[in-house]
Amino acid sequence: MDYTIPENLALMVETIRRFVKKDLDPISQQVEKDDRIPDGIVEAMRELGLFGLSIPEEFGGLGLGALGECLVYEELSKTNACFRTRVATNNGIGSQGIVLDGTPEQKERYLPRLASGEWTACFALTEPEAGSDAANIQTTAELVEGRWLLNGRKHFITNGSESHVATVFALTDKSKRAKGGITAFIVEKTYPGFSVGTIESKMGMRGSHTCELIFDNCEVPAENVIGGQAKVGQGFKTAMKTLDKGRLTMAASALGAAQRLLELSVDYAKQRVQFGRPIAEFQAVQFMLADMASQIYAARQMLYHAAWLRDKRGSAVIKEASMVKLFCTEMAGRVADMAVQVHGGMGYMKDYPVERFYRDLRLTRIYEGTSEIQRLVIAREMLKA
């Protein structure tokens, strides 16, 4: 097996590495305090093409495959997670419904704006009664005089308050639900009846906002069903395909953060002196560093292999992607815990980035499918006839 990273991707990774080091990391703690990314940094991310990593080149994106996207996210996640999250919905769940199932007109209207970062997209599936059980959504859409009227409330929507456009899932046939009764709509923020509700106060991920979206007789043009009239009722499939595609990138983000935590821990262990010696000389600390490094190494092999498989097959790698998301995010949780331990009391202090990574990483085991849901997917794929 050849694990050489292609030259164009290696160059891209190097550019992101420099950007993280020079522009993002120095302001990470400030962004955490302000709960906001400065406009100049959003602009710089636009210029680097970070909003359009996965959007095809014909629509102005970089058209990276799974491996390329994972490599970029791995680098970008070595600093405050909010930077990755700011671009991630445009590349992932916010745009992929249109990339995978959109009509040519929808692609033409939305993808260039999303790829350039002029517009931000979000993905609105989750509701108070529909989290892991996503098919239990209550938001409805009814066709009245040639336009759809959406009614309901979504919650926990990443980038919802920043977005110009949302992929929204609503019930068009209550009796069919996931089997032909859920439709995906493209909803622009200017449509009458659309508003942003509460912005949540979270454990972490400061600088990235999560909110409610409210649809009150929200008027959506008939042509805004993703994929057009023929796809009415097929939205649940679009949602699942979109989430499947995102699992590898979520894993890459967890991996990048874990790698940074290892680097911080090695540096700290070498310079922190107790009992007259750097703590790196104590075997108990060495074992933690060795465990972190080994788990990261295993996770990276899994991720790159699954990404390579996806690029090679050109189709979903459902079981592998769930295994990789499960393993990488759980691994990063263990690494974060050990990193706090290596740093002792310093690891618990807000002035130090380890504390922030610890909180931010916790989310990766919950959103875009909890660890339990990944296990259900893996088992289902394994056991199906």
Residues lying near ligand FAD in the complex (CB under 6 A): 122-126, 131-132, 156-158, 202, 205, 210, 363, 366-368, 370, 372-373, 376
Question: Whole-number minimum distance, CB 40 to ligand FAD, in Å?
Answer: 25
- Please choose, from the candidates 238, 258, 244, the residue with its C-alpha nearest in 3D space to the C-alpha of residue 328: 258
Question: CA 4 → CA 7, 8, 303, distances in Å?
Answer: 9, 12, 14
- Position closest to ligand FAD via CB: 131
Nearest Cα to Cα of residue 185 among 146, 138, 232, 144:
232
Using the minimum distance from each CB to ligand FAD, give the nearer residue, 156 or 194. 156
Nearer of residues 223 and 372 to ligand FAD, judged by Cβ? 372
Contact 41, 83 (CB under 8 A): yes
Amino acid at 281: E
Q: Nearest distance from residue 293's CB to ligand FAD, in Å?
A: 29
Distance CA 114, CA 49 (A): 10
* Least distance between ligand FAD and beta carbon 93 (Å): 6
Q: Which residue among 355, 368, 372, 381 is the active-site one?
A: 368
Q: Which is nearer to ligand FAD, 60 or 160 (CB)?
A: 160
- Residue 106 or 210 having the CB closest to ligand FAD: 210
For the bound state, the minimum distance from the C-beta of residue 202 to ligand FAD, rounded and expressed in Å, comes to 6
Give the residues across from 158 on adjacent strands. 210
* Gap between the Cα atoms of 97 and 167, Å rounded: 7
Query: Least Å distance between CB 350 and ligand FAD?
Result: 19
H-helix or E-strand containing 212?
Answer: strand 210-221
> Does the annotation count 69 as an active-site position?
no
Could you give the CA distance from residue 19 to residue 281 in angstroms, rounded to a whole number? 34
The contacts of residue 84 (CB under 8 Å, 6+ apart) are 73, 76, 77, 253
Q: How open is the CA angle 245-250-251, to the nearest 5 degrees?
A: 105
CB nearer ligand FAD, residue 158 or residue 265:
158
Catalytic residues: 368
